[in-house]
A and B are shown apart, each in its own frame.
Chain A
Amino acid sequence: MAKNQLIGGALWENYSQKVADRMNNPRYRGEITEEEAQKRNAKLVVADWGAESCGDAVRLYWLVDPETNRILDARFKSFGCGTAIASSDMMAELCIGKTVDEAVKITNLDVEHALRDNPDTPAVPAQKMHCSVMAYDVIKQAAAIYKGVDRESLEEEEIVCECARVSLRTIKEVIRLNDLKTVEEITHYTKAGAFCKSCIRPGGHEKRKYYLVDILQEVRKEMDKEKRMAEETRFSEMTVVQKHKVLEKIMDEEIRPMLAADGGSLEIVDIQTTDNGKTLVYIRYLGACNGCASAMTGTLYAIQGYLNRKLDENIVVYPI
């Protein structure tokens, strides 16, 4: 990859011949009039998507047979670069002959695949992938208009990366299953963020609802929390050394400061595990605790109670 990236600017060289041909001579450009629709006893649908200020805008015309819901003809007009025009043209072609419900299932990936000269070579370079997303969006829009429903109701999943059509659910799953720690890894596993890069972090090509950096951070936080909880509940299964570490930590953080307030302290002398699943913790009081009456009663119960709540209810503390 590195060698291929050292000389930049090869954008157009990575367009397939089909993309170039359809840019030069789009087959379905134009419009369909209301008169034409009436002549063919069909319903005319005109859907717009995008805006000039975003760099891409497309208008899709459908002629739909109201009896069969089949798309009889399609045309498009577009404000956009070569790949946007070529994708719109292919999108219109893919719509023709399908029912509206079938057409809604066409994705930008289908459009891009149809534009390939060779099944293994992408039709457009990565950064141009988002041009075909427009084609996908405008179909949804046309279908929503035809059916008289809200556009969102046609979306089955929350999509994070439009270019590669990767859902929020997939991304979260992949992070968890593979213990992913970086956005690069997410891209490697799912292709999300590999194309126009808008979904990686704010400030890219276009504004997004979700960003990979945020999703990663959120899932990692959840995972850390779960891991911590898992560690705590598994105290009984720890080795003596692990138990010692956990106990020392809790003594340092919670118990010794308490005792220090009265000028005392304690040390862990021994830890034993019994056959019936109990953990015996032998401690020795130091400083002011040593000889204090409460050290054998209230203070002892407090320490044991704390450890029972925090770590394991089968911990028993013995002062020696």
Chain B
Amino acid sequence: MRIYLDNNATTIVDPRVKEAMDVYFCQQYGNPNSLHDFGREVREALRVALDRLYRGIGARDEDDVIVTSGATESNNTVLKSVYWQFIARTEKKRILTTPVEHPSVSEVCRFLETQGAEIVELPLNQDGIVDVETLKRFLDPEKTALVSVMWANNETGLVFPIKELSDYAHSVGVLFHTDATQAIGKISVDVSSLSLDYLSFSAHKFHGPKGVGGLYIRAGAPFVPLFHGGEHMGGKRSGTINVPGMVGMGLAMELACDALQYEVTEVRRLRDKLEDAILSLPDTLVIGKRDLRVPNTLLASFRGVEGEALIWDLNRAGIAVSTGSACASESLEPNPAMVAIGVNKELAHTAVRFSLSRFTTEEEIDRTIEVLHESVKRLRSLSSTYVSKKS
């Protein structure tokens, strides 16, 4: 039995999504920009997909939801648009962000810093998130071009208070972007009740295909495209439309929204079962309060067991999980969320992430618990540090 518990990295494509996409490869392969029937027949499918995307995130018809190659492109587009609009030519040179953003935000910020942007990382509170009081302390509307805060963290699953944060940013006239890659399909994402200007997402995180994602742009929000060279997506994102990808993402969005109730009850129940089993082992902990996390994610630490060694053992048993702080990574700094929560620095290399999906079964979780117990026992028996802790 192969068990996939790395759904924050990518997900299985829902078979219904795959089936819906299939016709756009060899039968309806026209370019939607063409005038003839090959183009026309494709446009209808794209309209349906767009309706599903708009409905899925609660966008209004006057807003734009453009289809991109994924959240990395969407995040790059927003940050670089803000650079051209404000940082390069006005006194607003600051971007407020967090220390736990995905590299497609943090590395772009680092690059923009070399181009004159001033990047401020908002400190995390004891729960590992940014609260609105912190934003109030750090936000200077005169100098700030954008606030960019992820909706849910990929490693810990911690959910940021996007409503409060974006409401405050808007109340002082500052643009707000959120990377909702890890939120869509896991919790309700409805921009109609929020003060967001930009929102990024990626299809393959909610059982859609890889290589396609989206960017919501509120009507009237300033925008400079990243790609020029055509009239696609109303001129906001040039490049021939990825028809099967867009169709697949549309359906995946609809299916994910329909399954939200299942996600917060059943997926959460399985996640909590695994979490309880982990915590029943001695010297283990899970990062972040359960209620503050998306329902599918848990980042656990096993004292005395190095993370990569554990995922190696689990992989031998056919179980796929991941570690955020691989010892081959360039830096040995622990996850900032772990530091903020007050986790001992020694545990930085013991963190392993389990991320479930609506395709995860109870049997898989039971098997994982069984293998996990054995692996932790084996690795602790040869661990030099675990023994020394006890003696």
Contact = CB atoms under 8 A, between A and B. Distances in A.
Interface string A200-212: 0001111000000
A215 B168 CA distance: 50
Interface residues of A, number: 36
B309 to A, nearest CB: 5
A284 B310 CA distance: 85
B346 interface: yes
Interface in A1-45: 11-12, 23-24, 26, 29-30
A85 interface: yes
A76 B312 CA distance: 20
A12 B327 CA distance: 13
Chain B interface residue number, banded: 20 to 34
Nearest to A126: B328
B349 A52 contact: yes
A79 interface: yes
B327 A80 contact: yes
A17 B381 CA distance: 23
Interface stretch (B112-120, B124-132, B257-265, B382-390): B382-390
B316 A57 contact: no
A193 interface: no
A266 B304 CA distance: 80
B384 A53 contact: no
B384 A197 contact: no
A56 B327 contact: yes
B328 A80 contact: no
A83 to B, nearest CB: 9
Interface string B293-328: 000000000001111110010011000000001111
A140 interface: no
B320 to A, nearest CB: 12
Provide the main secondary structure of the chain A interface. mixed
Contact of B309 (A30, A54, A85, A128): A85
Contacts of A26: 382
B62 to A, nearest CB: 41
A70 interface: no
Given A81-B308, A82-B308, A52 B330 contact: no
A163 to B, nearest CB: 12
A11 B381 CA distance: 25
Contact of A78 (B307, B329, B331, B384): B384
A131 B349 contact: no
B228 interface: no
A182 interface: no
Contacts of B327: 55-56, 80-81, 84, 131
A19 B47 CA distance: 53
A127 interface: yes
A77 B312 contact: no
Nearest to A49: B384
B316 A77 contact: no
B348 interface: yes
Contacts of A203: 331
B332 interface: yes
A143 to B, nearest CB: 18
A126 B100 CA distance: 27
Interface in A74-116: 76-82, 84-85
A135 interface: no
Given A57-B385, A78-B383, A82-B309, 12 more contacts: A52-B385, A55-B325, A55-B349, A57-B384, A58-B384, A77-B383, A77-B387, A79-B304, A79-B383, A79-B385, A131-B327, A197-B330
9 contacts: A52-B304, A57-B384, A58-B384, A76-B384, A77-B387, A81-B309, A84-B309, A85-B309, A205-B329
Interface of A: 11-12, 23-24, 26, 29-30, 48, 51-59, 76-82, 84-85, 125, 127-128, 131, 196-197, 203-206
For the complex of A and B, the 9 pairs showing the least CB-CB separation, nearest first, are: A81-B308, A77-B384, A59-B384, A55-B327, A79-B385, A52-B346, A55-B349, A29-B382, A127-B328
